[in-house]
Amino acid sequence: MSVEDLVLPLLRPTRLQLSLLSRFYATISRAIHRCMRARRIRGDVTLQGSFAKGTILSDKWEIDVFLLLDNVDLGWLRKEAEQFLVECLGHRLPVVIKYSQQPYVSVSLMGMEADVVPVARGAGSYRGLGAERTPLHTEYVRSRLDEHRRDEVRLLKSFLRGIGVYGAETRTRGFSGYLAELLIVYYGSFRETLRNVSRWRPPIYIDPEGIGDRTFMTRKYRDSPLIVVDPVDPQRNAAAAVSRNSLETLVLAARLYLEKPHPWFFHIAQPSSLPLPPLPGWLLRIQCRGALASKPPDSVWGRLVRSARSLRAHLESRGFEIAHITVESDEYRSVSITILLDSCRLPDMEVTRGPSITSDLRRATRFIVKRLRESGGAWLDGRRLTGARPRPWIRRSAILASLEWLYSSSSLPLREIAPECIVSCRRCGEENKPCNPTPPWIASLLRA
Amino acid sequence: MSVEDLVLPLLRPTRLQLSLLSRFYATISRAIHRCMRARRIRGDVTLQGSFAKGTILSDKWEIDVFLLLDNVDLGWLRKEAEQFLVECLGHRLPVVIKYSQQPYVSVSLMGMEADVVPVARGAGSYRGLGAERTPLHTEYVRSRLDEHRRDEVRLLKSFLRGIGVYGAETRTRGFSGYLAELLIVYYGSFRETLRNVSRWRPPIYIDPEGIGDRTFMTRKYRDSPLIVVDPVDPQRNAAAAVSRNSLETLVLAARLYLEKPHPWFFHIAQPSSLPLPPLPGWLLRIQCRGALASKPPDSVWGRLVRSARSLRAHLESRGFEIAHITVESDEYRSVSITILLDSCRLPDMEVTRGPSITSDLRRATRFIVKRLRESGGAWLDGRRLTGARPRPWIRRSAILASLEWLYSSSSLPLREIAPECIVSCRRCGEENKPCNPTPPWIASLLRA
């Protein structure tokens, strides 16, 4: 029995799940139809996304409801749609207003969640928004995937999530559900996709329907390591969000999995805690609070990721050895950067390597004079200039170095969105956090 | 007034020094002549070396006495010369027996020291030994250097000593006094020598008398960065001992001096302690004892230098940051290696950088499995595999790592000659040792 055969039953939605989601949809649909009639708005209420396409996973209790409206314009969508949706749904269900390229709402019921997105249909209203393409994607995928291939999509999506590259948002810069579906359409199966991926050497160009202009696309998406021509829009790269990191992570995971398949590559089969010993390192945490709910999550994550990169460079330039770095946010009021270090404190003396003896005189002189002015020293170590200096106290402690960074201009992206910060650095395990960032799919190598 | 003008009076021997050394020579010469007559050994007692050449420095109270003997053979030199010298000189002066390529003795009087070297003169006895060339060197240098140029030699010798590259022995692998004299013969003056040296790019070929075969010499001394054809032996490189390190040190020092001359480049004008702050580092010391007096100093230093190199590699591979390393020996019973470190202790966790994600699968797998087996972890950090592991206790402490090294086979060169070792690692300053290895000539940059 293959690993896929073991995992697949866990990924398929149960009949109960499907019927609850259907009923949830019916409730929403009814409520909106009633409103539309009352306000003389014409159009269709439709089911989209993975539930509509039959590729939903067993642990996903979410549906996408799109209102395809005929007699509304963009001004209405931008200004009145929000009010309309809150009034239609708000008296029965809790409603949260969200923003992507335009406002939409999210309603929830007994742990189920529905995004309700209004779209203007009809001549002259197409603006190339993601939301407007969604119905076309649903249609395309339904036409191309039979029941068997939907299972293959489920495997691929779970695999992508399992290795941390599922999702096109800024936080992940990975593979969207739609992209996973396109890969299965193109390669035919999960295994065949992995086999091909394992041989990928970016840049990769894939055109499932053979409708794209390769020269045009490779110029337009010059920086994309992966181009997948969108079957419903030949000028669009359905893989535009995929970063090189995500792509290469998938390549490595595909190779490892093909070599030694293991359930831990699939998110659904990953244990909540791994049988790994905690590492004897130190955790530097920068936790900040601010009003994030009003900001688009992509913007929050973008700043957070940029801040983490800047902090990392700051710490590394001061001599700290960084093992691992993670960012977290509830997208509501808190963000955090957690860094696994070998030590929270650096030695009092800092050793610096200088230019080679025979490099030009000015560089050598500059190195020597700098070290001497810093109350340090310089000498020859073999054929290299070497020096040392007392490390300033602010640079010895990871906490102080982080505070220095927080108040320097380069860290503005974080301070702008979450200005109240607490910095701590503690021995691993003191905060009850698991102190071994090895992901399950990598840990599986020891098991296989 | 130039720096050289300031320094030169300090370098010239005083009349008192010259007369004391002359009288010392007369005493030795008389005693040996008496012995020779008694044993019917014919030959000359001659004065050689820098005293004879008029290039002696004011702080050098040493003379070289060569016995050029006619009616002795190599067997006598090897087996009986020692006994002969001890009997001739030992009843008046303390005598130490030494070995170079053959036995000779060193006698001392009131702080003065004389090396007394017997050499066989006459047909068929020339074996190409260094000692046999010495009289020829003395003669050559006397014929080429007038009083003015002897001062230039003194400046150059003091400069070479000041920057730590004076001496052809294994310990230094630098410039002999004779080589300094040849450079002054060739370039004419101290300044002109430095000006030329500052532009040197090894390999350098110099033939003061134009008597060498360049093709032959560059092949014979393929590994020498500097070839100076010996005027008394066209197939010999008078600079064969010079290492690339010493050569490049001289190049850098020449450039720095020409840019900003300072008395601290000359050994005679260097302060006994520099106005430099102690570095806040740690000193790792390995002190060993053994019977060294019976071993040729070059062999002791050779082993010591090789040991230091091996220990350095051992410590660095374990993650210690080495700022500076020195070796010392009294050539009698103790040797030591002193290492300036930023810390005696490494963090409990060790971070290791792995191959890039897209390197071949086997390397990636090996890295992951290794980290997992070591109770560590592995993960992706950007596009690189990164890992961490607990550092074994023996690798955390510089003292333990050094002991481990001492008892491993790679360190045999040290254990063989000095088997009793003590290892310590202390904060700088605790042992009253100056903790800033900056040499005076480099420190002078801050003063100029």
A397 has pLDDT over 70: yes
* Residue A432 pLDDT class (50, 70, 90 cuts): low
pLDDT (0 to 100) of residue B413: 76
Looking at the complex, report in whole angstroms how far the Cα of residue B19 sits from the nearest Cα belonging to chain A: 40
How much is the average pLDDT of B349-361?
88
pLDDT (0 to 100) of residue A163: 97
Edge to edge, the sheet with strand B103-109 lists: B43-48, B62-69, B112-120, B103-109, B95-99
Q: What is the CA radius of gyration of chain A?
A: 26
Local structure of residue A211 (DSSP, 8 states): -
Q: Between chains, do A390 and B279 touch, taking CB under 8 Å as contact?
A: yes
How much is the average pLDDT of B266-288?
93
Task: Please give the single-letter amino acid code of residue A245.
Answer: N
CA A360 to CA A374: how far, in whole Å? 22
Q: Between chains, do B323 and A386 touch, taking CB under 8 Å as contact?
A: yes
- A386 contact residues in B (CB cutoff 8 A): 323-324
* Residue A127 pLDDT class (50, 70, 90 cuts): low
B357 compared with B3, residue with greater pLDDT = B3
How much is the average pLDDT of A405-421?
81
- A325 contact residues in B (CB cutoff 8 A): 381
Looking at the complex, report in whole angstroms how far the Cα of residue A173 sits from the nearest Cα belonging to chain B: 12
Looking at the complex, report in whole angstroms how far the Cα of residue B5 sits from the nearest Cα belonging to chain A: 25
pLDDT (0 to 100) of residue A128: 65
B431 has pLDDT over 80: no
Interface test with B, best of A315, A380, A384, A446 (most B CBs within 10 A): A380
Residue of B nearest to A348 (CA): B280
pLDDT (0 to 100) of residue A327: 93
How much is the average pLDDT of B199-208?
95
Looking at the complex, report in whole angstroms how far the Cα of residue B85 sits from the nearest Cα belonging to chain A: 42
- A315 contact residues in B (CB cutoff 8 A): none
Local structure of residue B440 (DSSP, 8 states): H
How much is the average pLDDT of A43-59?
95
Query: What percent of chain A is predicted at pLDDT more than 90?
Result: 74
For A164-186, the pLDDT digits (tens) are: 999 999 889 999 999 999 999 99
Nearest alpha-carbon partner for B292 in B330, B338, B336, B337: B330
Residue of A nearest to B254 (CA): A361
pLDDT (0 to 100) of residue B182: 98
Nearest alpha-carbon partner for B174 in B155, B151, B156: B156
User: In the predicted model, what is the mean pLDDT of chain B?
Assistant: 91
Edge to edge, the sheet with strand B420-427 lists: B322-329, B334-341, B282-289, B420-427
- B323 contact residues in A (CB cutoff 8 A): 349, 351, 386, 388
- B445 contact residues in A (CB cutoff 8 A): 365, 368-369, 372
pLDDT (0 to 100) of residue A126: 59
Q: Between chains, do B369 and A445 touch, taking CB under 8 Å as contact?
A: yes
- A249 contact residues in B (CB cutoff 8 A): 357, 380
Q: Between chains, do A351 and B357 touch, taking CB under 8 Å as contact?
A: no
Q: Between chains, do A357 and B281 touch, taking CB under 8 Å as contact?
A: no
A446 has pLDDT over 60: yes
pLDDT (0 to 100) of residue B411: 66
* Residue B138 pLDDT class (50, 70, 90 cuts): very high
**Which of B259, B280, B369 comes nearest A390 by C-beta?**
B280
Sign of the dihedral defined by the CA atoms of residues B353, B358, B360, B365, in that order = positive
A431 has pLDDT over 80: no
pLDDT (0 to 100) of residue A298: 86
pLDDT (0 to 100) of residue A103: 82
Task: Tell whether omega for the bond before A203 is within 30 degrees of 0, i.e. cis.
Answer: yes
pLDDT (0 to 100) of residue B361: 85
Question: Which residue is associated with the tokens 């996408």?
Answer: A64
pLDDT (0 to 100) of residue A411: 67
Q: Between chains, do B252 and A277 touch, taking CB under 8 Å as contact?
A: no
B122 has pLDDT over 90: no
- B352 contact residues in A (CB cutoff 8 A): none
B338 compared with A71, residue with greater pLDDT = B338
CA A434 to CA B219: how far, in whole Å? 64
B123 has pLDDT over 90: no
CA B29 to CA B24: how far, in whole Å? 9
Looking at the complex, report in whole angstroms how far the Cα of residue A432 sits from the nearest Cα belonging to chain B: 18
CA B140 to CA B194: how far, in whole Å? 23
pLDDT (0 to 100) of residue A433: 66
Edge to edge, the sheet with strand B204-206 lists: B204-206, B226-230, B233-237
How much is the average pLDDT of B268-281?
91
A221 has pLDDT over 80: yes
Task: Please give the single-letter amino acid code of residue B353.
Answer: R
pLDDT (0 to 100) of residue A381: 87
For B318-340, the pLDDT digits (tens) are: 999 999 999 999 988 999 999 99
- A351 contact residues in B (CB cutoff 8 A): 321-323, 342
Q: Between chains, do A390 and B343 touch, taking CB under 8 Å as contact?
A: no
How much is the average pLDDT of B415-425?
89
Residue of A nearest to B380 (CA): A249
How much is the average pLDDT of B262-274?
94
Instruction: Flag the least confident range among A301-315, B385-399, B422-436.
Output: B422-436
Q: Which domains does chain A have, with CATH numbers?
A: 15-126 (3.30.460.10), 145-269 (1.10.1410.30), 282-345+394-428 (3.30.70.590), 349-390 (no CATH)
Local structure of residue B245 (DSSP, 8 states): H
Instruction: Flag the least confident range among B86-100, B109-123, B208-222.
Output: B86-100
Looking at the complex, report in whole angstroms how far the Cα of residue A132 sits from the nearest Cα belonging to chain B: 34
How much is the average pLDDT of B391-419?
85
For B166-177, the pLDDT digits (tens) are: 999 988 999 999
Query: With contact defined as beta carbons under 8 Å apart, do B138 and B181 qualify?
Result: no
For B358-386, the pLDDT digits (tens) are: 778 889 999 999 999 999 999 998 888 99
For B8-20, the pLDDT digits (tens) are: 999 999 999 999 9
pLDDT (0 to 100) of residue B353: 93
Task: Please give the single-letter amino acid code of residue A247.
Answer: L
pLDDT (0 to 100) of residue B328: 93
- B366 contact residues in A (CB cutoff 8 A): none
Backbone dihedral angles phi then psi of residue B209, each to the nearest 5 degrees = -105, 0
Residues in chain B: 448
For B46-63, the pLDDT digits (tens) are: 999 999 999 999 999 999
Q: Between chains, do A380 and B256 touch, taking CB under 8 Å as contact?
A: no
A50 has pLDDT over 90: yes
B179 has pLDDT over 60: yes
Q: Between chains, do A390 and B358 touch, taking CB under 8 Å as contact?
A: no
pLDDT (0 to 100) of residue A435: 87
Residue of B nearest to A446 (CA): B369
B27 has pLDDT over 60: yes
Under DSSP, is residue B390 helix (H, G, I), strand (E, B) or coil? strand
- B378 contact residues in A (CB cutoff 8 A): 438, 442
* Residue B206 pLDDT class (50, 70, 90 cuts): very high
For A257-305, the pLDDT digits (tens) are: 999 999 999 999 999 888 888 999 999 999 999 998 878 888 899 999 9
